[in-house]
Amino acid sequence: EDKVVQSPLSLVVHEGDTVTLNCSYEVTNFRSLLWYKQEKKAPTFLFMLTSSGIEKKSGRLSSILDKKELFSILNITATQTGDSAVYLCAVVLGDDKIIFGKGTRLHILP
Amino acid sequence: DAGVIQSPRHEVTEMGQEVTLRCKPISGHNSLFWYRQTMMRGLELLIYFNNNVPIDDSGMPEDRFSAKMPNASFSTLKIQPSEPRDSAVYFCASSLEVGAGLYEQYFGPGTRLTVT
């Protein structure tokens, strides 16, 4: 059965800290991996990763994919209270099916 | 652009009633996705359309659920009859193209459904 597992489930850190969120997957026909940020409402797109070892970066956020070890990490440096959200990882399969992880709930303390 | 529009934003209904959720994708997007999100199961893809054609409905939980996309600017997700376990937030998302690797989906605000 195809699955996407995120860890930790929940994380509380102080403003200014760096966090690393993990996403591991076991799927039969991997095409790409997506990261989303979900605050109070709908998820917003962060990154799409298709190739191993190539870092995607946007401001204080960065992400990288390891297709050999079947995982991705999302890094957030110098965290701010506005980074508090649920971060969702999703894997897109070759037949265009999309499987989401349960998310990591990140809370940044001021 | 107004983004993906969903209606209603909240719905409370009694078990056994028919529920219809509506979605207007972003103009020009040719793929539309329906998701359901609950605390227990997280975000699940129910069905998606490409150029108004349903491509994969394997995520639809059972026959009580049906979705249509009569034209490029409108889709519905219907639950008949509704049950308390259908209570969830239902998201609609659209993207420019499926299959070419472009998966920057834009999500609507969601419909929070409560079935009592």
pLDDT per position as a tens digit, A25-45: 999 889 899 999 998 778 888
Question: What is the average pLDDT score of chain B?
Answer: 90
Per mean pLDDT, which range of A48-52, A95-99, B96-100, B104-108 is the poorest? B96-100
Does residue B40 surpass a pLDDT of 80?
yes
What value does the mean pLDDT take over residues A55-64?
95
B34 lies within 8 A of chain A by CB: no
pLDDT of residue B103: 63
Question: A-chain residues within 8 Å CB-CB of B55?
Answer: 96
Determine the distance in angstroms separating the CA of A41 from the nearest CA of chain B, rounded to an integer.
Answer: 6
Contact call for A43 and B56, based on CB within 8 A:
no
Determine the distance in angstroms separating the CA of A95 from the nearest CA of chain B, rounded to an integer.
Answer: 8
B9: left (phi over 0), alpha (psi -120 to 50) or beta: alpha
Give the pLDDT band of residue A21 (cuts 50, 70, 90). Answer: very high
Give the pLDDT band of residue B10 (cuts 50, 70, 90). Answer: very high
Q: What is the DSSP string of A50-68?
A: -STTPPEEETTEEEEEETT
What value does the mean pLDDT take over residues A51-56?
90
Give the Å distances, CA to CA, from B10 to A1, A35, A40, B7, B45: 34, 27, 15, 8, 20
pLDDT of residue B55: 85
What value does the mean pLDDT take over residues B50-58?
87
Strand-pairing partners, residue B86, are: none
Question: What is the average pLDDT score of chain A?
Answer: 92
Q: What is the DSSP string of B25-71?
A: PPTT--EEEEEEEETTTEEEEEEEEETTEEEE-TT--STTEEEEEEE
Quick one: DSSP state of residue A7?
E
The whole-angstrom separation of Cα A103 and Cα B52 is: 30
Chain A contact residues (CB < 8 Å to B): 31-32, 34, 41-45, 48, 50, 88, 90, 92, 95-103
pLDDT of residue B98: 53
The whole-angstrom separation of Cα B16 and Cα B19 is: 9
pLDDT of residue B105: 83
pLDDT of residue B97: 67
Does residue B100 surpass a pLDDT of 60?
no
Determine the distance in angstroms separating the CA of A16 from the nearest CA of chain B, rounded to an integer.
Answer: 29
pLDDT of residue B79: 96
